[in-house]
Every structure is written in structure tokens, then in C-alpha cells.
Amino acid sequence: MSKRRISRRSFILGSALGACAAPLLARAPDRSIRPVLRGDADPLLRLKNAVRSVEELIREAALGGRLGYSVADARTGLVLEARGPGAPHPPASVTKIITALYGLDTLGADYRFETRLIAMGPIEEGVLRGDLVLAGGGDPVLDTDMLATMAGALRQAGVRKVGGNFFVHAGALPRIRAIDAGQPDHLGYNPAISGLNLNFNRVHFEWRRGGKGYRISMDARARRFRPEVAIASMKIVDRKLPIYTYSKGPRGDLWTVARSALGKGGSRWLPVREPALYAGEVFQILARGEGIALPAAKLLDGAPRGRALVVHKSPPLGDILRDLLKFSTNLTAEVIGLTATRARGVEAHDLARSAEEMGRWLAGRIGKHDSRFVDHSGLEPGSRASPSDIVRALVHEGSRGVLPGLLKDIPLRDSRGRVLKAHPLKVRAKTGTLNFVSNLAGYLQMPDGNMLAFAIFISDSARRAEIERDDRENPPGARGWNKRAKRLQQGLMERWGGLYGI
């Protein structure tokens, strides 16, 4: 067994977290257009006077691996500077930019996911004479509090008891056990996907040490409600490694955790592999709180037929996308991508097939491209995209002004990591991080309002290949590498601000 360095902090909190590109220690940029500098009154004068060469920035970062970037005028598409612009890299979560555009173009910003309670029989004297179905529409942001509201609405509809079965239906989307099968089992950002999702398909594991050992709980918490569930169970065992083990039980997820890793107490989110039954158990508990007796949930394979007693609608897609690009939730990206693919009339039974359709859609927007997507979130490392392709998509969308308003503000920092609030450059972008992959793509705004579209991809495939499966949450050296990569990205943006702030 190899020696592994395990961070207690990363264990407790969890991590929410291309070979053909130009080498980092190589030639000058492929293309560079230097504009005429303006006078001393230019607010970018300080940046102009401090413009550093790309090679100097690369040497300072000391990353190894490969760098590719492209930067263009966001209005005209004129490429100002590029280095290995057509070479493929793992795009990581920068993929979510393409997914967001795919969802907007196919579904529209006002699209809402629906979750329904369907009665398959009449209601007589408070008893539903038939089956009740909790039918998912794929909603990626459904949580326990929302299910509680639905339970209250069911009571208001006159239901006190269900005489038949209680079913859950998740057929709106394919059932996918995990986004990336190569990831360790316990990572909460790699859950299952189905047409009925709850709490991003995660369960909250919490532990506290007392006089007689540990008190542990597995619950479906949201802001108001936190019911404990039985579909995911945890057992503490005496060992050092592995920290977690997972197995599939007859009706849920069976976890064990190493006692030596627990300390005094803590918590983390774990993925749920049976999301529809998870949602069914939580709804049964919440309905009981409303005085409604429900049997245990069963899976319903065929489409439910009956009358919708309660319909819950998600926030509009535009709002969901803003949160997606801010918090980078993988489940949300995959659900949006799968839903858009089905809306285009394409049956995709897995993420790779749906992502392939997204690639065809992208070709219709920007023309021929070299990118290849195998999912919609960027978690699976098999995807490849080039800086040039991403910038072309940003330029195409930037002319309509929709995407910049959805992207996250990225602060620029000084050498000590402090945010520079008065920095003359403003960045709205999406990060993309995997182990020894650090990407950034979006828009760079100058003080005069001029906007550049850019994509920076940095990856070290050799170091990625050395990581063992159990170390993928927090491999040695990855955190420091990522910090240096971010400094290189900021150095490039400040270079562009000084050169092209016109």
C-alpha cells in the first residue's frame, strides 16, 4: 500500500472541488497585437508601465505542464493574443459555460422544472382511493423545504391518507449512478442523477464524540427541516484506511467510516445513489408531520396517469444558471444538459451521448471546432476543449449580452492574497479546477467599458496520471500548484489590461 498524506480538514469538510498545448517553458505567444498607448491620463497607465512578458510570468509560476490561452475583443472577435489556442485541454468546470448556453438556447431563460404529486384515484372523506405518485421533472434545486411545502399543499388538497401505494417516478431523465465512475465513492460533488433529485442528491453525515463514543446522524437537511433518513446508513469501524467504504444495500447506501479519522466531531455531505427513493422517504416523513399517512415509497417505472394535486415549480432557468456558474454544482449542470438534449428530441441514456449532442449544437453556433465533451459539468476528465473554441463561444454570446450577467465576479488579489477592491480591471468568469488543472474563462472589462473575451487553460497531465484513486480528493502538491496557476492567470489578465486597454 502506498503512503498517503491525509488532511483532516479536507476529510471533515470535503472537497467541493492538454497534452497538445504549448509547453509552459517554450516560445513566445503565437499572436500578439500591440495597440498604441494612450496618454498619462489613462486609468490603465500603472498597468501599462508594469506589463510583463509571458515568459517571465511562466517562469515565476514554476508549474510545469502546458499552457494555452486566447484573448479577443468581445465585440468584434479580433484575436489580440494567443498561445496554443487550438490545443485541447481538460476544460473542467469551464464546460459549464457551454452547458449554460446550451440550456438557454434550447429551453429558454424562463423554463421551470416541475415536480408533481399525482393522484391515481378519487379523494373520499380524506382518503385517496388509489395510488399517490411523487413525479420528478428533473428539478436540480429541489430541497427538503420545498418538499415540506408540497406536503402542506397535499393536506390542503384534502388528503389525510393514501389507500393505495406511494410511488416515486424519476423517468424524466435517465438514471445515472455517478457523474464520474473513476472518482472515490464518498465525494458529494459526484452524486447520482435521475428525474427526481433532492438536496443535490446528497445526505448530510454528522458526528459528535461523547462519553460513550460517537453520536452520528444521516439527515436530509435544508434551512428549515432536517429529517433523519434510513436510506443511507453509517457504521464506525476501527481502522486507519480507507477512511470510507461504500456498498449498495437492498434498499439504500451502506457506508463505513474509520474511527481514527473522526476526531471530536464534524460533518460532510455524502452522495446518494438512489435519489428517487431518498426523495420518497423524505416526503413520507414530511407528510407524516402534516398528519398524512403514507406507506413506504416504491419506484414506478411507467409514466403516471392521474390528476396533479400539487405542482411545485423551480425558479426560472436563468436564476438556476446564475447559481450554477457561481457555485459550480455538478448535478445542476448535468440535469440542465440532459433536459436540453431531450428537448431537442434526442434520446440520451447516458451523459456522453447527451454531451455529444451539445457538441453538435456548439458547432451550429461557432462553426467547426475541436472540442469534445463527455459530460455537461466537466467533472469527468475525458472531455477536451481548446481556448480558441471557448473564446469563440464567448464572443458569439457576448454580442447578445446574456452570459456576462450570469458569470461570477472574480476578484483580483495582491501578492498576499488580499482582494484589490480598487483594481481597474473587472473580471466576470468561470473557473475550472481538477487536480493539476486550473482554467479560467470569461470576460475582462476595462475602465472605459471595453470588454475582452478570454480563456486560460493550464494542465499537467503527467502529474494527474500519477494520482491514485484514493488520493483524488486532495493529492499532495495540488493546492500549492493551483495557487500558483491562479497567480499566472491574474498576471496574464493584467498584462492584457496594460496592452489592450483601449
Do 501 and 49 contact (CB within 8 A), yes or no? Answer: no
Do 253 and 232 contact (CB within 8 A), yes or no? Answer: yes
Task: Write down the residue that cell numbers 475602465 correspond to.
Answer: 447
Give the integer Cα–Cα distance in Å for 49 and 137. Answer: 55
Do 283 and 297 contact (CB within 8 A), yes or no? Answer: yes
Peptide bond into 242 cis (omega under 30): yes
Helices (H), 163-296: 275-289
Do 346 and 358 contact (CB within 8 A), yes or no? Answer: no
Give the integer Cα–Cα distance in Å for 495 and 499. Answer: 6
Task: Write down the residue that cell numbers 489578465 correspond to.
Answer: 493
Which secondary-structure segment (H or E) carries 355? helix 351-366
Q: Whole-model pTM? A: 0.90
Residue 201 DSSP code: G
Task: Classify residue 471 as exposed, middle or buried by CB count within 10 Å of its CB (0-12, 13-18, 19+).
Answer: middle
Backbone region of residue 378 per phi and psi (left: phi > 0; alpha: psi in -120 to 50; beta: other values):
left
pLDDT at 416: 83
3-state SS of 360-408 is HHHHHHHCCCCCECCCCCCCCCCCEECHHHHHHHHHHHHCCCCHHHCCE
pLDDT at 37: 39
Task: Write down the residue that cell numbers 444521516 correspond to.
Answer: 218
pLDDT tens for the chain, 502 residues: list them: 443 333 433 433 343 333 334 565 444 566 655 444 344 444 556 676 678 999 999 999 999 899 999 999 999 999 999 999 999 999 999 999 999 999 999 999 999 999 999 999 999 999 999 999 999 999 999 999 999 999 999 999 999 999 999 999 999 999 999 999 999 999 999 999 999 999 999 999 999 998 889 999 999 999 999 999 999 999 999 999 999 999 999 889 999 999 999 999 999 999 999 999 999 999 999 999 999 999 999 999 999 999 999 999 999 999 999 999 999 999 999 999 999 999 999 999 999 999 999 999 999 999 999 999 999 999 998 999 999 999 999 999 875 678 999 999 999 998 888 988 888 999 999 999 998 999 999 999 988 888 999 999 999 988 888 877 776 777 878 889 999 999 999 999 999 999 987 5
Helix/strand/coil for 347: coil
pLDDT at 24: 58
pLDDT at 32: 58
**Residue 294: CB atoms within 10 Å:** 22
Any idea which fold 113-314 has? D-tyrosyl-trna(Tyr) Deacylase; Chain: A; (3.50.80)
Which residues have a Cβ under 8 Å from the Cβ of 442 and sit 6 or more positions away?
A: 97, 394, 404, 407, 410, 427, 428, 429, 430, 453, 454
Helical axes 54-61 vs 478-500, angle rounded to 10°: 160
pLDDT at 422: 84
The highest-level CATH class for domain 24-85+425-502 is: alpha beta
DSSP E strands: which ranges in 339-411? Answer: 408-409
pLDDT at 136: 98
Domain ranges of the chain: 24-85+425-502, 92-111+317-383, 113-314
* Amino acid letter for position 108: G
Do 197 and 331 contact (CB within 8 A), yes or no? Answer: yes
